[in-house]
Amino acid sequence: MSVYAFPARKWKVMPHKITVLLADDHALVRRGFRRMLEDDPGISVVAEASDGEEAVRLATELKPRVIVMDCAMPELSGIEATRKILETCPEAGILMLSMHSEETLVSQALQAGARGYVLKNAMDLDLVSAVKSIAAGMTVLDPQVSRKDALKGERGGGLTPRELEILQHIVAGKSNKEIASDLNLSVNTVAVHRANIMDTLGIHKTAELVVYAIRNGLVNLP
């Protein structure tokens, strides 16, 4: 797969092997990715995580140069895990892998701080090349999801942090009144946020919104 790589801010380049953390809830997928990466003598997979919480813990403990992160994982989504990891490991290069190419999801990942977004089911996935580009400080996007709007990471392409917070409560089945009480907001403000979320995602039924949010890893499942 030929990925689009864009210059980014300069990162400290180490002369040693590129250390990689694999985060995916499917053991067979992790095993396959490990084999792909370790076929290259310049890459070393230092650990594997099966959920978002474990990914955050291992990233904080081991500080790998690159984290290959599945977008949809249990405990903590890849997007939320990315945010948490970059709070303590700001120089980590996170490559998001997903089954979905929706522009909104791509924007969410980039806004969270991921430096790359690649479709994991691409027949010509070149994970080694993508990891090396991320380690070199590049931004990597799968050609199928490369769009100017996604690169800009603008508000129109995704949800704000507050909207993501409210979306989490919506998925939990809470009413506007309950959400307002939990977040110390007015019911009217919550209603406006709910409307904005649906408008941004192009969804107009709560049931469809819940399904979309879960499938695309925008919320944390209990």
Give the tens place of pLDDT for each residue, 73-111.
878 889 999 999 999 998 899 999 988 777 777 888 888
Q: Say yes or no: 129 and 52 in one domain.
A: yes
- Count of all residues that appear for the chain in the document: 222
Q: Say yes or no: 79 and 183 in one domain.
A: no
Phi, psi dihedrals of residue 112, rounded to the nearest 5°: -70, -20
Residue 173 forms part of a structural domain: yes
Q: Given 105, 130, 152, which residue is the final one in a domain?
A: 152
Strand order in the sheet with 66-70: 4-7, 138-141, 116-119, 93-98, 66-70, 18-23, 43-49
Residue 69 forms part of a structural domain: yes
Which pairs with CB-CB distance under 8 Å and at least 24 residues apart come from 53-60?
Answer: 53/81, 54/23, 55/21, 55/23, 55/81, 55/85, 56/81, 56/84, 56/85, 58/21, 59/21, 59/85, 59/88, 59/89, 59/92, 60/85, 60/88, 60/89
Pull the structure tokens for residue 187: 């019911």
| Stretch (H or E) spanning 191 | helix 187-201
Q: Say yes or no: 112 and 166 in one domain.
A: no
pLDDT of residue 34: 92
Here the CATH number for the domain that contains residue 54 is: 3.40.50.2300
Range of the structural domain that residue 63 is part of: 4-152
pLDDT of residue 124: 64
Cβ–Cβ under 8 Å, residues 32 and 167: no
CA atoms within 13 A on the CB side of 205: 3
Q: Say yes or no: 180 and 104 in one domain.
A: no
Q: Say yes or no: 134 and 34 in one domain.
A: yes
Q: Given 107, 124, 152, which residue is the final one in a domain?
A: 152
CA dihedral of 201, 84, 71, 221, whole degrees rounded to 10: -70
Residue 222 forms part of a structural domain: no
Q: Say yes or no: 55 and 140 in one domain.
A: yes
Number of folded domains that form the chain: 2
Quote the percentage of the chain above a pLDDT of 70: 84
Residue 15 identity: P
**How large is the average pLDDT for residues 170-184?**
90
**Is the backbone of residue 60 left (phi > 0), alpha (psi -120 to 50) or beta?**
alpha
Residue 30 forms part of a structural domain: yes
Pull the structure tokens for residue 197: 């979320």
Q: Say yes or no: 77 and 111 in one domain.
A: yes
Q: Say yes or no: 182 and 201 in one domain.
A: yes
Residue 220 forms part of a structural domain: no
pLDDT digits (tens, 9 = 90+) for 37-74: 989 999 999 999 999 999 999 999 999 999 999 988 87
Residue 27 identity: A
Provide the pLDDT confidence category of residue 21 given band limits of 50, 70 and 90.
very high
Q: Given 152, 187, 204, which residue is the final one in a domain?
A: 152
pLDDT of residue 69: 95
Q: Say yes or no: 95 and 125 in one domain.
A: yes
Residue 221 forms part of a structural domain: no
Global pTM value: 0.61
pLDDT of residue 5: 52
Q: Which burial class, exposed, middle or buried, applies to 4 when counting CB atoms under 10 A from its CB (0-12, 13-18, 19+)? A: middle
Residue 31 forms part of a structural domain: yes
pLDDT digits (tens, 9 = 90+) for 113-147: 898 888 877 656 789 999 999 998 888 887 776 54
Q: Say yes or no: 135 and 197 in one domain.
A: no
pLDDT: is 160 or 32 the higher one? 32
Q: Say yes or no: 117 and 210 in one domain.
A: no
Here the CATH number for the domain that contains residue 209 is: 1.10.10.10
Q: Say yes or no: 207 and 172 in one domain.
A: yes
pLDDT of residue 9: 40
pLDDT over 60 at 8, yes or no: no
CA distance 169 to 105: 19
Residue 108 forms part of a structural domain: yes
